[in-house]
Structures are given as structure tokens and as C-alpha cells.
Structure 1
Amino acid sequence: MTDPGQGVEALMTALEAEYGDALVTAGGVSWLSVHHVPIRRLVTRVVRRLLDLDEVSTATVFGAAGDLVVAGGSTSLGYVAYEVSEAGLSFLLGHGEPGQLTPDGGELAVPVQPRLKVTDAPVCAVSWSSRHAETLLPVLSALAGQGVRSTVVDTASEADQRFPDTSEPGITVLRLPDGALDRDGEVPARSAFRHENERTVRVGQHEIGIGRLAWLAARLLVRSAGCTQPSWSATLYVEQWLDAVLLASHSRVLLCSNDTSPLGVLAVRAAERAAADTVYVQHGAWIEGQTSSHSQSSRHVAVMGARDVRAAQAQTRRPDARMYVVGQPRFDGLAQVDRLGQRAYLQRMLKEQTGSAPTRIVVWACQPFNEQRLLGQTEVLAEGLRNAKGGWGLVVAPHPAQNAETLSPLLDVLNGVPVALIGSEVGARGCLAGGDALISASSTCGIEALLLEVPVLELALPATRTLGLADHGAAWRCESSRDVARLLTRIDESPQTVRVPTAAKELICHRDGRSADAVADIVTQALSGSATPHHSAQGTDRR
């Protein structure tokens, strides 16, 4: 098996078959369900590394378990990138014995019954990122306007990702207790995981031991890495806390924007135990390969565009799931975007940082890839901009998870190109409406640009997934610097030829300015027990 995607699927399937019930929460949720996303990331990294290697050293003696899996920097907001060492790869292939799984001094996983002061609210929403908040707040405001109260469970582990305090009547924000996500602790690995398990799965030229892979994956459950990768101890605590919230609030509907990451899985399963209905709102574009089939848990799934319906149907684990095409609540206000103000901002940044005033401006919606990948993208952009006609300037817009200073070295590669680097607090979302084009690999900003009729260039370099907008005629695929130069020249010389048909936009993201109201309608119908598909989703009902 040499296809990375197939290798990942085969390993995840084998893990589930052999160890799906090795660890289960008090609420009956498997560790592989809760931690599906971080474990899949680790497995993906293992597969890619093994496919790149012909031989792996056969080390037979290991020290601590930490020698096998090493936590690196954050690759995207809230996530820790785990790297498998050479010793870890050797261990996976059947060589040697592991060290101790649980670090010395680890806190035992003893959940504590939380004390809560919660008012009754028919709707409970869960959020742990600013993107969730931007998606859910318009919906909750629409519900409040109908007299429907809601409690927002804010589980963010970073201050700048918290759900904002609001004085709006009918919306109460309840934050996870301090330290709840900092709980490190024991994983009962000796009894749950058998690294001597002889079952293997072939990936490339190598046979991976499933028992050893499970043992290695359990490393992610020892140390807590915040809201997106809680330890097993933190998982047990949060599950009990969520149960207490739903019991105290008497909520009948849970609303979320992520039901595949650990806290989303815990929230949806807690809602199921409380006999509450569940509504999911897609907060960003789905990228193929990020999750496996049957990983989505909510009963009602509100997606952005018609193309997302098929993915939603493939990802759901529920035979009674219903799909709705509603657009994106946080895009409802795009009609009020100040294009002239954003254009002036871009021009000012370029003038201040380069002393020049390019006639054309392309915004790069940068993403938190590793340094090598970012360097490769920069080199392609630099060459393309140098060869494009029209006097183009580049504005580099960091992702919220990126520090602008870390991108400064990339500017040296862009020598000879007018380039400005803006702060992540502005980002591409805060300025793309002022550009003549937007370029990115897989930023959801590409969809915003599409709706604002800003031409989108998808940077489709080797081993880089995109949003697939170009596949539907909604963007232009760039596989080389030549493609970048050609398309920028075309935008400059004949911009009318890059306009996207309305049908293509609708396929990507429905837009009528009332997405928040549409989701609110789904919630109120779920409260009454009579939820039906939104008008734009006829034929997607899975009853």
C-alpha cells in the first residue's frame, strides 16, 4: 500500500477493530472516538515518514516513552504537532521494548463532581475557538430575538479564542473551570494495550504492528495539550462537567461547530445521554483526508454549500442524520465590508514597508504550515510575481495561529517584489476585500474572497491539499510559478474573464444574508421535535 490516504485509513480501521474498547469514558465513549483527530494526525505523520524511508534503524533498547513520540510546535491553532522519532519508527516495526508510558509524578485521573450555577436554557452551545464564536454568536442572537435562551459553554484554553462576554439578554456564557484542561495523568496502558499484539498492516515496504501503534498513540493521552488535545484525565473531568451542565440547564438542543475533535465529541455524546438533540454548523471548509468516514456525531448538519452535502453524508455516523444547506452565519455581514477602506489599508502597508505603490495587489492568506513548506510556497509566489505583468505587490497575511515575526525570514526570498507583512490580528479576513486577487492553499478566506468576487488562486503544490474550489470552476489552480504569473497577468489585463458564475458560488457556499436565521430555524424546529430541511436543501434529508 503506497497511497498515504489508504495507509492512514487502513491503520485507523485496524486500531478501531483491535483497540476501540481499550479505553472508554464513564459515559461510554471510546478513546479513539474522543481523540480521533489528534490520533489521526499522528498516524498520518507515521505513514508519510515510512513511505519516504526504505530502511528504518533496528534499535532494540529504548529509554522513556517520550523518546518515541516528541511534541513539536503548533501546526495550526491549538494543535501540537507530534513527531515520531527514529526509535519510535523502529518500535512500530517490531524492534525492542518501550519504556514507561506514564511520566513520573503524573496526576491520577480522578474526576471531581463540578459545582455549577446554571440557569435553565433550552439551547446549549459549545465553543473553543474564535471561529466557533464568530459562527455561533449570530445564531444565538437570532434565537434570543425569538425569545429562546442559550448557555454557551466556553472551553477555550487560550484567552484570545474565548467566546466574548455579551450583554445580550438570553445568552449566558459559562467557562470551563481553570485548570480543567491542564490535568496530566495516568493512562492504564499495561492492561489496555498489548504492544506484543502480532497483527500488522503493510504500509509501503514496512509492516506496522497495530498493538505497538496503539501503545504509541496512547502517548497523546498522557499529557494535556489544551482544548484540542486533552489528556485522558482531562477528558474524564470534562465529560463529567458537561454532563452536569446539561443536567442543570435542562437544555434540549446542543449547538456546536465541531463534533469531531475531542471536546466536540464529548459534548455531543453528553447531549445524547441527556436526550438532547444535536445541531452542527460547518464553520470552515472541509479538506479531504482530515477526518475519516462516520466521524461526525450530530443529528442535524448545517453545511455551507451543496458540494458539502456528500461529504457530510459520508462523515456522519448516524443513520437518522439530516443535512441542510444554509451558507455560513459569519458571512452574513459580507455585504457591509468596507472595500475602499481595506484597499486603502493595503496600499498604506505597502507604501510604509516598501516605499512603492503597486497598481495591483494580491493578498496571500498564509497558513501555519512547517517552515520548509512555507519556504517552498514563498519561492513559487516570488517567481510568479516577478514574471507577472501589471505591477503587482504582495501582502502577506498571517493565520491567527502564526506569529508575524516568524514569517519575516520569508521576505528575503521575495527580494525584488514589493511585499508587506501585516499582523495576524488583521489577517487575510481583515483586508482581502481590498485586493485584486487572493492566493492560498486551503484557507477558508478563499471562500470569503469568492463571495466578494475577488479572484482566488489555489496554490496546489505537491503534497498540499486545497479547498478544491478550482475543481468547481470557483478558483484557478496554480501548480507552479508559471501558473501564478499567467493568472495574475490575466487578472490585470482582462479581469472580466475571471468572474465566477453564480452557480459555482452557490455550490461552494449558499449566500442570501440570512444564514444565521436559517440555523436558528433548524434549532427551533429541533426544539419542537419537527426539524425539516431548510428550503435550499431539499433532497438532502436523511430521515
Structure 2
Amino acid sequence: MTTNVLNREVDALMTALEDGYAGVAVTPGGVSWLRVHQVPIRRLVMRLVRRLQAMREPVSPVRGEQPLVVACESASIGYVSYDVTDAGVAYVLGLRDGDPKDDVPGTKPEVAQPPSGMFRTQLCAISWSSRHVETLLPVLVELADRGITTTVVDASTESAQRFPEPCMPGILVVRLPRSIFAHNGAPPFRHLGTLLEGPTATVGRHEISLGRLAKLVSYILVRSTDCTQPSWTAALNAERWLHGALAALRPDVLLCSNDTSPLGVLAVAAADRLGANTVYVQHGAWVDGQVSWRAQHCRHIAVMGSRDVLTAHTWTRRADARTHVVGQPRFDTLADIDRAEQRAYMNGLFAGQAGAEPPRIAVWACQPVSEQRLIGQFDVIAEGLRNTAHRWGLVIGPHPAQGPSALAALLDSAKDMAVAVAAREAGARGCLAGADALISASSTCGIEALLLDVPVLELALPAARTLRLAEHGAAQRCESDADITVALSRIDRTPHAVRVPAAAKDSICHWDGRSAAAVADIVTKAITENTAS
């Protein structure tokens, strides 16, 4: 099954769920459970569709108290990965009766109140990851220089993702209590029992109950991980806190870099209820299948390049949404990077970890995928480098969301080549400017490398999503280790022959060094709009 076919199947199921079951649980602010948690729900639905499409034999009935969904260790910090069990497959096919209980007990949270003494501000921004900080902070500094004050709601739960204390007047940071995310509990579905045997949908050769599918996916709302994946109970508490904070601040505009994950959905919905305008800044490259149905909620959408405009129009829920091509604020300072310093850093890595200094260096920008997928990607990359007569060494750049043990399994199979791992705080971003090539499947580092004229090899392995840079003539598509060898050998022989035309770069990311100012212009106009209305 191709990725496009898979995405269509998943989108159809998500749309059917929203049409039939969005109203069975809503927050006090009127936000459906499917809107709040659409990201993890979509992931689980995709796994179910893959299983059903691959099934050729009839499924046997399942009895007993086996769980429908199991939690698995995730390669991403702050996430729990879920999979559908055999009992879960049987359940949606109507071959298992009963309503098994989740083994995670619910807890009753204390209501967390916003801090007292919050004063009116023209702009409120919300952040919970380092990528949000890197994207929004340059904009907030620009706005402060223009006399526009901002209160930042820092909702992070990891110290590495925290919004820093302000270094200038005009920016105030308030922190959402971590205790909000410490409570488990699924939504109490209203009248779902009468809907379990309702409409059905066809997936592959199988007919599944949409009501049972709704019940199945609700199990991932029980467990609270942290700000990225709160339980339903934690989401309700977060909504109360956010609504109270925004009611006290009374901003003209809410600024965010994610309005599809739970906190972004809840914050934008609260801003809408309180009459604030909303601005979204794209913090990373969009990937096909990343969201389901129309999932974006902000009125103003600031995107990186012209190719993102169509995606923004496809994903927005709002008829009055406006899309602006502005580039990426965190790329404004790319031109100031010291390439020689980054090269020296990587040579030091090789000297300390591999005992060699290869003539050419490729950086692999990792993504927080499963260990199995990570090893599969590494095996292809490593074999491609081995076949370059040891001309190339590899620096592995960890993703900020990857745990410290995520890459340990890779190095055991790389004893016969020059491989080094960058520090997590450096990652691929701290190395790529000094590299001779960058290898990536879907990391935004591929776009940074493109802008800096570092050749990009786009790893397009089966069932893997890419940034589609190769489709725009901005990267070399590599489907195998042989493709990697050919691409690296070409770069080694004629590095200037792989330069990307300016028009192709601009379609992917408009880069003129003033993206922060362009977003600040959008925010300023949105404030004026809101004041006038």
C-alpha cells in the first residue's frame, strides 16, 4: 500500500469519526476530544489501517480481558507510542464483546489557578518546545523593539524545552504548572454505548464498527505523559488554566508555533472565545500525512515557502484564514554561522571517537523514529559511505526529542568506518554548515543545509516520509545505499555541480534575513485588526 493510499484511508476514517462521534466528549470550552487529541489518535488509526490492509486470513473471536491498545516505549521524549493488539483488531471487527478496563487508574486533579497579578498585554505567546523558542523569540524581540509587550506562557515540562527568562524589557514569562499534566483519566463518553453498533466503514477487505473504533482510540487519552500528550483529565485542567490566564491578560493576539497538538488547540480555542486574533508561525517543515482533516485553527498562518501555501489552505479549519510567506525566523542568523568552527568541531569528534579524520564529512540529521526504523536508515547510510573507498565519514546529529540512549545501538555495527555522534545540544544544526553533505529523511535541517548550499541527500526509503525536497530539484533522492554512494561520489568529484537554483530554494523557504520582522509585521497588523473590530 502506497503512502498516499494509506493517508486517504486514514483521513476517511478520521473524518467519519468526527462526523459521528466528535460530540460524545467535549471540554467545558466546547472543544471536541477528537480535535484536542487528533495527533496521537491519527497515529493509532494509521497503525490499525496498516494491520487491516495486511490481513488476508479471517480473524478469530477473542475472549477474556486482553487490552485493546498497548503503550510502547517511544523514541521521542515526552511521547508514548501506542499500538493495537489482536484483541483490539477483533474488537473493531465485532469479534470481541465486553468493555475492558484500562490498567491506568484515573486521578482527580486539584484545579490549578493562573498566577495572580497578571496584567493586560497586547500579545500572548505560548511555547512548550525548544523549536518554539527558537522560532518565536526573534519575533518577540523585534516586537519589543517596536514597543509591543508580550506575555509568554511556557507550558514545557522538560528543562531543555523551557522558554528562557527574558533578557530585555517587554517580554514576561509565566509558567504553566507541571502538576497539571500529572493526572490520568479518559473522557466519560456520553451515550457512546448506544452508538457502538452504529455505522461501519470498509478498510481493505474488512468492515469495522466506527463506534468501536471511537472506543478503541479513546484508550490513548487515559494516560498523561506530559505537555505533548496529556490525558483527557489533564487537558481539561490545562484548558481551565489557559482560559483563566488569557481572560486575565486580555491580549489582542495569541501567537503560537503549533495549533494542532493538544495545548495549541486548547490555547487557540480559548483565544477565539475571548475575542483575540490568532497567528501561527510554521516552526518546521510540513510532511504529508502529518495531520488529519482540517486541523489548523489560527486566522493568520505564516509559512516558510510558497510550496507551503497550498498545504496551509488544505489544513485550515477557517474560511477567513490568511496565509503569509515569510521564511523562518530561526533561520535569520544562518548567514552568520562560522563554517570553519563547525568543521573543527566535527574533526574533534572524529579524533576523539573514531581516531581518524576523513577527507569528506556527511552529517545525518536524525529524527525521533522507532529504534527499528533508525537502525534501518543507518544501515543504508553506512553501507553507502563504506562504498566510497572510505573517503567519507559520518557525523550523527541527534534530534532534540531523542533520548540519550536512542543512538547507542547504531555504533555497534559501525566499527569499520569513521562515525561520530554530535552532542545532543549541538545536534545536526550545530554541524551542518561545516559539512560536505547532509543526509535526512524529513528533518528541517535539510532546509537549513539547502539555504547554506550544503548538498542534501533525501533518504527516501519504503514507507518513510520525506520533505519532498527532491521533487523541487533541491536534493538528491536516495532510495538505497547505492544511490547514496553515487551521490556522495558526485559531490566529492564536482561539489559545485550540485548547486540548487535560487528559485527552487525560495519555493521551499524564503530567506532574506528578515523573517522575524515579517512575522512581527503580521502580528502588528493582527493587533490593529483586533483593536478595530
Which TM-score applies when normalising by structure 1?
0.94
**8 A contact 1:360–1:390 mirrored in 2:** no
For 2:30, give the aligned amino acid: G
**8 A contact 1:383–1:481 mirrored in 2:** yes
1:256-295, aligned counterparts within 5 Å? 256-295=256-295
* Shift, 1:38, TM fit: 1.1
**8 A contact 2:285–2:467 mirrored in 1:** yes
What secondary structure does 2:72 align onto?
strand
* Shift, 1:191, TM fit: 3.2
For 1:32, give the aligned amino acid: L
Matches of 2:62 and 2:300 in 1, distance apart?
Answer: 50
From the superposition, tell whether residues 113 and 375 of structure 1 become closer, same or farther in structure 2 (CA, over 3 Å).
closer
Q: CA RMSD in A?
A: 1.9
**8 A contact 2:371–2:406 mirrored in 1:** no
Instruction: Please give the per-residue CA displacement for 1:239-285, whole angstroms capped at 9, x wherever unaligned.
Output: 11111111111211000000011110101110001100000000000
- Name the structure 2 match of 1:370: 370
From the superposition, tell whether residues 92 and 111 of structure 1 become closer, same or farther in structure 2 (CA, over 3 Å).
farther
**8 A contact 2:75–2:371 mirrored in 1:** no
Matches of 1:359 and 1:382 in 2, distance apart?
Answer: 16
Matches of 1:331 and 1:450 in 2, distance apart?
Answer: 12
For 1:183, give the aligned amino acid: H
**8 A contact 1:442–1:465 mirrored in 2:** yes
Instruction: Please give the per-residue CA displacement for 1:97-146, whole angstroms capped at 9, x wherever unaligned.
Output: 24444657522477565453312211000111010011001111111111
Identify which range, 111-120 or 229-238, moves more after superposition.
Answer: 111-120
Alignment partner of 1:424 is 2:424: yes
1:215-226, aligned counterparts within 5 Å? 215-226=215-226
Instruction: Please give the per-residue CA displacement for 1:50-94, whole angstroms capped at 9, x wherever unaligned.
Output: 222223642432326xx1111112243432211111111111111
- Name the structure 1 match of 2:122: 122
1:289-304, aligned counterparts within 5 Å? 289-304=289-304
- Name the structure 2 match of 1:308: 308
Matches of 2:378 and 2:241 in 1, distance apart?
Answer: 45
Matches of 2:115 and 2:98 in 1, distance apart?
Answer: 40
Matches of 2:198 and 2:436 in 1, distance apart?
Answer: 58
1:86-235, aligned counterparts within 5 Å? 86-101=86-101, 105-108=105-108, 111=111, 114-189=114-189, 191-192=191-192, 194=194, 196-235=196-235
From the superposition, tell whether residues 226 and 299 of structure 1 become closer, same or farther in structure 2 (CA, over 3 Å).
same
**8 A contact 1:342–1:431 mirrored in 2:** yes
- Name the structure 2 match of 1:22: 24
Alignment partner of 1:8 is 2:16: no
Instruction: Please give the per-residue CA displacement for 1:199-250, whole angstroms capped at 9, x wherever unaligned.
Output: 2211112222111110011112222121122111111111111111111112
- Name the structure 2 match of 1:85: 85
For 2:351, give the aligned amino acid: K
* Shift, 1:444, TM fit: 0.5
For 2:132, give the aligned amino acid: H
What secondary structure does 1:361 align onto?
strand
Which TM-score applies when normalising by structure 2?
0.95
**8 A contact 1:111–1:233 mirrored in 2:** no
- Name the structure 2 match of 1:58: 60
- Name the structure 1 match of 2:499: 499
* Shift, 1:393, TM fit: 0.7
Alignment partner of 1:41 is 2:67: no
Identify which range, 292-301 or 472-481, moves more after superposition.
Answer: 292-301
What secondary structure does 1:500 align onto?
coil
From the superposition, tell whether residues 475 and 77 of structure 1 become closer, same or farther in structure 2 (CA, over 3 Å).
farther
**8 A contact 2:437–2:456 mirrored in 1:** yes
Identify which range, 178-187 or 159-168, moves more after superposition.
Answer: 178-187
- Name the structure 1 match of 2:475: 475
From the superposition, tell whether residues 111 and 209 of structure 1 become closer, same or farther in structure 2 (CA, over 3 Å).
farther
From the superposition, tell whether residues 455 and 194 of structure 1 become closer, same or farther in structure 2 (CA, over 3 Å).
farther
Identify which range, 75-84 or 475-484, moves more after superposition.
Answer: 75-84
Matches of 2:297 and 2:104 in 1, distance apart?
Answer: 36
| Ranges in structure 1 where 5+ consecutive residues have no aligned partner | 532-543
* Shift, 1:392, TM fit: 0.6
Matches of 1:160 and 1:305 in 2, distance apart?
Answer: 29
What secondary structure does 1:21 align onto?
helix
* Shift, 1:293, TM fit: 3.4
From the superposition, tell whether residues 436 and 275 of structure 1 become closer, same or farther in structure 2 (CA, over 3 Å).
same
| Ranges in structure 2 where 5+ consecutive residues have no aligned partner | none
For 1:482, give the aligned amino acid: A
- Name the structure 1 match of 2:441: 441
**8 A contact 2:277–2:530 mirrored in 1:** no
What secondary structure does 1:25 align onto?
coil
Matches of 1:94 and 1:460 in 2, distance apart?
Answer: 37
What secondary structure does 1:197 align onto?
coil
From the superposition, tell whether residues 83 and 194 of structure 1 become closer, same or farther in structure 2 (CA, over 3 Å).
farther
* Shift, 1:409, TM fit: 2.2
**8 A contact 1:193–1:214 mirrored in 2:** no
- Name the structure 1 match of 2:349: 349
For 2:118, give the aligned amino acid: V
From the superposition, tell whether residues 192 and 156 of structure 1 become closer, same or farther in structure 2 (CA, over 3 Å).
farther
Identify which range, 299-308 or 46-55, moves more after superposition.
Answer: 46-55
What secondary structure does 2:290 align onto?
coil
Identify which range, 175-184 or 126-135, moves more after superposition.
Answer: 175-184
Matches of 2:519 and 2:210 in 1, distance apart?
Answer: 42
Matches of 2:70 and 2:340 in 1, distance apart?
Answer: 47
From the superposition, tell whether residues 418 and 103 of structure 1 become closer, same or farther in structure 2 (CA, over 3 Å).
closer
* Shift, 1:182, TM fit: 1.3
Matches of 1:194 and 1:288 in 2, distance apart?
Answer: 35
Identity score, percent:
57
Matches of 1:9 and 1:113 in 2, distance apart?
Answer: 37
What secondary structure does 2:429 align onto?
helix
Instruction: Please give the per-residue CA displacement for 1:271-304, whole angstroms capped at 9, x wherever unaligned.
Output: 0011000000000000000112321100000000
From the superposition, tell whether residues 26 and 441 of structure 1 become closer, same or farther in structure 2 (CA, over 3 Å).
same
Count of aligned pairs: 529
* Shift, 1:415, TM fit: 3.9
- Name the structure 2 match of 1:393: 393
For 2:35, give the aligned amino acid: S
For 1:5, give the aligned amino acid: N
Matches of 1:360 and 1:423 in 2, distance apart?
Answer: 20
**8 A contact 1:110–1:233 mirrored in 2:** no
**8 A contact 2:186–2:219 mirrored in 1:** no
What secondary structure does 1:76 align onto?
coil
